[in-house]
Amino acid sequence: MIHYFEQLTSTNDEATHSNYREGDIIWAERQTAGRGQRGHTWLSDEGANLTFSAILEPTFLPPQEQFSLLQVVALALIDTLKEYDIEAKIKWTNDIYVGDKKVVGILMEHKLQGEHIGRTIAGIGININQTEFDPSLPNPTSMRLSTGKQYDRKEVLKRIAHHLMHRYEMLRQGENSTLHSDYLQSLYKRYMEQRFSLPDGTHFQGIITGVEPQGALKITTHEGAEHKFLFKEVEFVLKN
């Protein structure tokens, strides 16, 4: 069920309430404290985009497999954009890109219940009809900027929800290897030369060779050494 609000602090906060159920979607027109990754805020023009959270209760999944939920969400977005003839890619770990620009941001939050994941809140900000962005944002785009078309936001939301439940059902049925190979097929800059930076500021050049099923990014350097990085251990250096 879609629960619509004019204003919330963050849809991810609202989605923590126990009265919501698996499959529910919390959609807010305006967020007064929309959260991004790494403590950033998420900015979105009112009436132009979608900011929402989808609730899953993957009690069948141990916490060490939480990356598979990110794959589910990212693939549902790729599937949806494909239906609108937009070829998007997954920039490891949580962004959806069209060309070299970001069209969707994903913020995953999990609540543990004993040995398993009790609730997953998939917070999604997708730029749909917005054409001008705050200059502080590094490389934003929208569906409209990609195709020149205007979109019905509620229809986009329903399609995302449909694909999300389809991909989630694949996970529940144990189709992990298909999900992972689909994720790799859609991986941004896979097998391409790319510049990266490390938390200490060092830059290096390498080729993305893949992502491990549990989420580590694999990069091979010129010297032939393969390195594995977890979330926040490496950043892409992109030209704007």
Contacts with ligand BTN by CB under 6 A lie at 10-12, 31, 34-37, 40, 42, 51-53, 94-95, 105-107, 123-125
73 versus 216: smaller Cβ distance to ligand BTN:
73
CB of 75 to ligand BTN, least distance (A): 17
Residue nearest to ligand BTN (CB): 105
146 versus 206: smaller Cβ distance to ligand BTN:
146
CB of 175 to ligand BTN, least distance (A): 26
Q: Is the separation of the CB atoms in 37 and 13 below 8 Å? A: no
Nearest to 156 by CA among 83, 235, 233, 63: 83
89 versus 170: smaller Cβ distance to ligand BTN:
89
CB of 103 to ligand BTN, least distance (A): 11
Backbone torsion region of residue 4, taken as left when φ is above 0, otherwise alpha when ψ lies between -120 and 50, otherwise beta: beta
CB of 222 to ligand BTN, least distance (A): 30
Residue 72's alpha-carbon distances to 124, 136, 192, in angstroms, are 13, 30, 24
Q: What distance in Å separates the CA atoms of residue 183 and residue 9, rounded to the nearest whole number? A: 31
Q: Is the separation of the CB atoms in 217 and 206 below 8 Å? A: no
16 versus 194: smaller Cβ distance to ligand BTN:
16
